[in-house]
Amino acid sequence: MNDDKTKYHFTTIKDLMQQVLQKNKLEKGMQQIQITKAWKHVMGEGVWTYTTAIKLNNGNLTVSLRSSTIREEHSYRKEEIIRMLNAYLQQDLVKKIRLS
């Protein structure tokens, strides 16, 4: 029988990946990938085809759209879009949306 008092610390893979991302300063890049995927999923192919750029900075999501009609339509749904994106991401990553 082993008498040493070794303590084991168990970590989930999710927590371990989060630590690696933070340590290597990759968190923002991963958030950018996640928000792009979320935008495409939540908004659908129709809006995605008119999307030219997506940028997330400190909770502010800026989305460039080629269509002024789509931009105008969705400008009235910003709060709903924020809720849907955050629900898809399972975290409150997006605080504001700017459509340009």
Q: Between vectors from CA 63 to CA 83 and to CA 56, what angle results, nearest 5°?
A: 70
Give every CB contact of residue 100 below 8 A, 6+ residues apart in sequence. 62, 63, 64, 65, 71
Return the amino acid letter for 56. Answer: L
Give yes or no for residue 1 having a pLDDT over 60.
no
- Rounded Cα distance between 8 and 6, Å, is 7
6 vs 49, residue with greater confidence: 49
Confidence category of residue 25, pLDDT binned at 50, 70, 90: low
What is the β-pairing status of strands 51-57 and 96-99?
A: unpaired
pLDDT of residue 94: 96
pLDDT of residue 70: 94
| pLDDT per position as a tens digit, 42-81 | 999 999 999 999 999 999 999 999 999 999 999 999 999 9
Domain 26-99 fold: GMP Synthetase; Chain A, domain 3 (3.30.300)
* Burial status of residue 35 (CB atoms within 10 A of its CB: 0-12, 13-18, 19 or more): buried
* pLDDT bracket for residue 26 (50, 70, 90): low
Q: Which residue has the higher pLDDT, 10 or 60?
A: 60
| Residue 10: per-residue pLDDT | 80
Neighbours of 63 (CB within 10 A): 23
Q: Per-residue pLDDT for 5 more than 70? A: no
